[in-house]
Amino acid sequence: MVLSTCGRDCRPTARVVLLKGYDNTGFMFFTNYNSRKGEQLNENPYACLLFYWHPLHRQVKIEGRVEKMSDEQSEEYFHSRPRPSQLGAIVSHQSSVIASRKVLEMKENKLKEEYADEQKPIPKPDHWGGFKVIPDKVEFWQGQSSRLHDRIMFRKPGPDEVLDENLTKKGADGWVYERLSP
């Protein structure tokens, strides 16, 4: 999925990350908290997720508030990852400038030696864990060759918002939905 964030500087950035789970409370991914995206989410805890399927001419866009996942959830997922991925989370100070790839390789080789015993668990670094995007808007888009695309927006209205019953339909659990012009 494409994750878009914006920090205090109001300059949006986007990158592809791996969706690791979802439930009725949100969409989860894991990263280095000190990375650019981690710092931006700390400064401005809102994000947009985008899933796009070109052959189907479909996309789903999700917007919402972001929260860190619990240390327990992050620890559990960290230890479910392959050992090389665990080591990589320690070796890489994601988004920071490095002198050369050799620096990473040397750190990795040192850690491989330290954790050569497969029975010795690799500790999750404090700077690594999960985020959950808690949606308040979900838009479904279906492309059409005529360019009159189909767009349906599901959203949580504001507490004092007056809804136009001719345009907005009530859904479940406080959500409403509307058809958007392409």
Q: Rounded distance, CA 68 to CA 29, Å?
A: 10
Catalytic residues: 147
CA distances for 129 relative to 4, 24, 56, 115, 152, angstroms: 18, 20, 33, 21, 33
